[in-house]
Amino acid sequence: MNKIEISPKEGLLTLPGFPVILVCIGNNILTVAAFSFFSFDPPMVMIGIVPNRYSFSLMKERKSKDFSVNIPSRNQLKHVKFCGSKSGRTVNKFKETGLTPQKATQITSSLIKECPVSLECEVVHTIQLENTTHVWFVGKIVKAHKREDYDRMQPMLYWPQEYRKIGEVIKE
């Protein structure tokens, strides 16, 4: 079957989904699907934030440029949706969700106690291109925490308008 031409925007929407995470900047929680690894060694990840968001101004204002990556499990979807739809400008998301802020060891941003994985990240680089929608913060993982019963099926994928399960390993 031949392919048909679609718009660049529709092209972007064909992508199957990226891991969705909860990020803390200071004591605010944001839902992030603009998330990727950046480097294996040293281990680094990156998160993309839209500049008109509260989280962006928080990052800019804070003396310590750091964030935590918290991988939610599927049963935390309601918190993921809540934190993705409300602004920290008007809502204390820890309080509203009942999630528990946990003190990190190497960074000043909180960790989320109930998430099965938390990564402490120090911002080492910012990527901000003119006339694009996201600013990307590259963070070096300086400390990591995992529940012993965590498995990589628990998280979720997100891509516009839908959350998906992670599928099983493909065996051959």
- The answer to the question of residue 157 lying near a copy of itself (CB under 8 A) is yes
Cβ nearer to a copy of itself, comparing 92 with 164: 164
Distances (CA, A) of 170 to 60, 131, 157, 167: 42, 39, 17, 9
Q: Which of 27, 48, 62, 84 binds a copy of itself (CB under 8 A)?
A: 48
Number of residues binding to a copy of itself, judged by CB under 8 A: 77
- The answer to the question of residue 24 lying near a copy of itself (CB under 8 A) is no
Q: How far is the CB of 117 from a copy of itself (least distance, A)?
A: 5
Give the DSSP letter of residue 73: P
Cβ nearer to a copy of itself, comparing 61 with 130: 130
Q: Which of 60, 89, 103, 164 binds a copy of itself (CB under 8 A)?
A: 164
Q: Which of 28, 31, 109, 118 binds a copy of itself (CB under 8 A)?
A: 118
- The answer to the question of residue 100 lying near a copy of itself (CB under 8 A) is no
